[in-house]
Structure 1
Amino acid sequence: MHIEPEHIDAEAEGGPVPSRAPTVDARIYPRGGLDVLSRDEVARLRDASAGGMHDLLRRCALAVLTSGSASDDPRAAQELYPDFDIQVLQQDRGVRIDLKAAPAMAFVDGEIIRGVAELLFAVVRDLAFTAIELDPEYSAELDSSAGTTDAVFRLLRNARILQPADPNLVVCWGGHSIGREEYLYTKQVGYELGLRGLDICTGCGPGAMKGPMKGATIAHAKQRRRRMRYIGITEPGIIAAESPNPIVNHLVIMPDIEKRLEAFVRMAHGIIVFPGGVGTAEEILYLLGILLREENADLKFPLIFSGPASAAAYFEQIDKFIRLTLGDAAAERYRIVVGDSVEVARIMHAGVADVRRQRIAQQDSFFFNWALAIPHEFQQPFIPTHETMAALDLHHGRKPHELAADLRRAFSGIVGGNVKEPTMRLVEANGPFEIHGDADMMRALDALLRAFVAQGRMKIAGEYRPCYRVVA
């Protein structure tokens, strides 16, 4: 990797500038993992037309260049760096990336921070590959469950994170907006996992996505592990609001939330859920909806809900909501452990060993869970609008996995209204989404969402204005 610093914003050098931040112009030559792109890929990344990729590239690149930002407003970075631009050029000797008015926080003494540079290269790599992978020429594959899974596999393989090694990858889910006590607990769990040789995968943002990685880094150093994986899996609608945390050393940008969720569960050898908000609830419902299917009944998949002792009431409410909506059978697929990070790590370590034995017995791969049956309705992108949110079938009498799919979509729509710019604009223009269903289910949903708001789990900072209205 080489960078040629060209210019530091002279106006910013004089001190703080209202509504602007210090910037740098730079030229970067990636090395390793992004050596060449095709002419077609470069053209798509440079295309600023309605169907082009340039605006998406600009937003995702700005997110990683502001890695570690404490804001969860997707428009904040764009307002701070309105003149930022990125151009990708293919040269005879490889790829060149030109940055204009880039955040100075990504540079030290004129050199881009190496970890930030790697995340930037991952953005270019994934968007270039996704543009081809989801091209109309290949999109027919996404009309089937097997075809969608193959697409997810190819996206992960292109990112070079599928490793034929012993199972040791623990996915950690949880909120980006959590309190100090909960954050420290996620760090302690990550530390205990790291001592047992387990790697970490999260949604790559702050809060419960950063804590386990930070704890694991210390434990890995103590155990003298040299090839640690801190994998962050995100998608374009999320990354602008949840910039990658600085510990992520493998970033993957999936094209949409459904493929992101499938990537998590296909790669995971076990999952720990920490306290969170609507995004965490969406992830829980997605996974339980899959595990409740008959085809997955005997599949080894350790799932633990955990937090500090103070989070006991939080998980009691989550557990109550799951039992009301999906039934007691759903609760048999997870364990709740509060206030005991060592026990969480021991259970997970033993669970991963069970996964290893089952994969060997079934001759399944260690690095991608092909045996997990994911129905096509869980893979199809859900676009939240006032019409699609109101049409969700949230009533008793449905099969649990079908109800879980629609409940997941309800939470997904609220996530969009909270942090995804296109959905936020939709709510600002037409008012909050309406969510309809059976009275008892809606009362439980409303109580859960109100608790998220009261506990500050919807937004990191600022007053939260609901993007939804629950209607019995």
Structure 2
Amino acid sequence: MEFEVIDTQISPGGRMEVLSKAEVVQLLDNSHGGLYQVFRSCALAVLNCGSGLDDGKELLERYKSFDISIIQRERGIKLDVKGAPASAFVDGVMIKGIQEHLFAVLRDILFIKAAIEDDRKFDLNTTEGISDAVFHVMRNANLLKPQVNPNLVVCWGGHSISSDEYDYTKHVGYQLGLRGMDICTGCGPGAMKGPMKGATIGHAKQRITTGRYLGITEPGIIAAEAPNPIVNDLAILPDIEKRLEAFVRMGHAVIVFPGGAGTAEEILYLLGILLHPDNAELPFPLIFTGPETAADYFRQIDQFIAATLGPKAQQSYQIIVNDPVRVAQEVQAGIRQVREFRKAKGDAYYFNWLLKIDAEFQKPFEPTHENMRNLALHKNQETHLLAANLRRAFSGVVAGNVKNQGIRAIEKHGHFEIRGDSEIMASMDTLLASFVAQNRMKLPGKAYTPCYRVIK
């Protein structure tokens, strides 16, 4: 099947206007240590925005002729784009938001390579060094706003949700926008787009022209969750762990909408952090919400958390069904507590330095077959560490579902095997089976083939 493509050249429009010769060489280097492949795959994902395709491997195969290179000129740089998806253009001209996202990809990939991988400016063997690296990526992207009161709400949820659930995310976003809240998501479609879309209307009614719609992603997931055009500030972190840390360091509250394995991963990540003894007194509003049709979904999530992490974890969140106004009011009240706490402790409003994040939540997890088999999924450990390992298990399922490298590993070696205590495995199997039954593992219309096998 042929897909319509367009060739073009674009200028950065005030961002990343100049590059050094060394940076250009790195971006065009197709060797193992070069940046070309990661730059190409991220750029293609950005250009494929809105297509509904959530399979990184299929995207690369669909647009095999796609190419992106850099033209050095005396007045600055241009990107030479060949074989780009036609959906990124209107009357032959690239959509401005997509053009901005392309240069955000360029900016962050270069910064990560120079400051984190090559220069070793940050000690990635320490929790402090990793948090410092996350801070500098976000600062380099100009996403830290020191003169703004806490108002950033992180919204998590699936890219594969029903129209009912999508409409509900817009209603919640609208109520947040009316109350002057900004939105931060994983930047993709579904529950990541809906709150932003609703907030734009709320902001417009309140004549707020400075509304922020932050998208935070990473190279491995960007093809499945391409930045939606509402995102006006985009950041690409080096890996999923630093992406998750960026969410919880920058956000002042978190709302979780219905989702699949990726949403379960995010929930377990945050609960594991909140269960750490050092965070016992730290206010962090966390609300699970959806329409009436999602009540059973959150019941299953709550049961899984009770069976694995226990009642203390359940005390960390509220479940609010079918009430966008109450969700927004609870978030607003919770953020007031966050502001007072940080003011009293002298912590920054724009980056939560006081939040303790254990090293087990920061170490990049590579979901190989061996690593998935060897996860410590038992209760003979501190609860927050069990949460870290459960998070890794769901991260592996996400990789096998939608990430190019994970999909290829499954094709070559078969299912990931997930082993552990029988009670935990039974709860995990039940939850994953419910995701499959509710079409939460892939976009509707595409049959799901499990990439995992739970060994009870």
TM-score by length of structure 1 reads 0.94
Partner of residue 4, structure 1: none
Return the letter of the residue paired with 2:447. E
Partner of residue 57, structure 2: 75
Of residues 109, 116, 134, the one that matches 1:127 is 109
Partner of residue 127, structure 2: 145
Tell me which moved more, 446-455 or 315-324. 315-324
User: Structure 1 residue 296 and structure 2 residue 256: aligned?
Assistant: no
Contact 2:57 2:403 in 1 (8 A): no
Shift of 1:20: 2.0
SS of the equivalent of 1:226 reads coil
Of residues 54, 68, 86, the one that matches 1:86 is 68
User: Structure 1 residue 463 and structure 2 residue 447: aligned?
Assistant: yes
In 2, the alpha carbon distance for the partners of 1:385 and 1:78 equals 21
C-alpha distance after superposition, 1:118-144 (max 9, x if no partner): 011111111111111232440761010
In 2, the alpha carbon distance for the partners of 1:32 and 1:334 equals 42
In 1, the alpha carbon distance for the partners of 2:333 and 2:15 equals 34
Return the letter of the residue paired with 1:34. M
SS of the equivalent of 1:201 reads strand
Partner of residue 295, structure 2: 312
User: Structure 1 residue 284 and structure 2 residue 267: aligned?
Assistant: yes
Partner of residue 181, structure 2: 198
SS of the equivalent of 1:172 reads strand
Of residues 222, 226, 229, the one that matches 1:243 is 226
In 1, the alpha carbon distance for the partners of 2:410 and 2:387 equals 24
Matches within 5 A, 1:195-234: 195-234=178-217
C-alpha distance after superposition, 1:305-326 (max 9, x if no partner): 0011121111111111111111
User: Structure 1 residue 107 and structure 2 residue 96: aligned?
Assistant: no
Shift of 1:55: 1.0
Shift of 1:88: 2.1
User: Structure 1 residue 62 and structure 2 residue 44: aligned?
Assistant: yes
In 2, the alpha carbon distance for the partners of 1:363 and 1:147 equals 21
CA RMSD between the two structures: 1.2
In 1, the alpha carbon distance for the partners of 2:39 and 2:290 equals 36
Of residues 232, 243, 265, the one that matches 2:248 is 265
Contact 1:41 1:129 in 2 (8 A): no
Contact 1:427 1:467 in 2 (8 A): yes
Partner of residue 5, structure 1: none
Contact 2:156 2:192 in 1 (8 A): yes
Return the letter of the residue paired with 1:465. T
Partner of residue 10, structure 1: none
User: Structure 1 residue 155 and structure 2 residue 137: aligned?
Assistant: yes
In 1, the alpha carbon distance for the partners of 2:17 and 2:345 equals 38
Q: What is the percentage of aligned positions where both structures have the same residue? A: 58
Contact 2:290 2:322 in 1 (8 A): yes
In 2, the alpha carbon distance for the partners of 1:101 and 1:244 equals 19
In 2, the alpha carbon distance for the partners of 1:71 and 1:22 equals 15
SS of the equivalent of 2:350 reads coil
Partner of residue 392, structure 2: 409
Contact 1:20 1:79 in 2 (8 A): no
Tell me which moved more, 335-344 or 34-43. 34-43
Contact 1:73 1:241 in 2 (8 A): yes
Partner of residue 444, structure 1: 427
Contact 1:44 1:131 in 2 (8 A): no
Contact 1:200 1:231 in 2 (8 A): yes
Tell me which moved more, 79-88 or 391-400. 79-88
TM-score by length of structure 2 reads 0.97
SS of the equivalent of 2:123 reads helix
User: How many residues are treated as equivalent by the alignment?
Assistant: 454
Partner of residue 327, structure 1: 310
In 2, the alpha carbon distance for the partners of 1:144 and 1:348 equals 32
In 1, the alpha carbon distance for the partners of 2:141 and 2:292 equals 38
Partner of residue 403, structure 2: 420
SS of the equivalent of 1:237 reads coil
Runs of at least 4 residues off by over 6 Å:
none
Contact 2:116 2:122 in 1 (8 A): no
C-alpha distance after superposition, 1:418-447 (max 9, x if no partner): 000111111111110111111111111000
C-alpha distance after superposition, 1:156-179 (max 9, x if no partner): 111111111111100000011111
Return the letter of the residue paired with 2:154. V
In 2, the alpha carbon distance for the partners of 1:377 and 1:75 equals 29
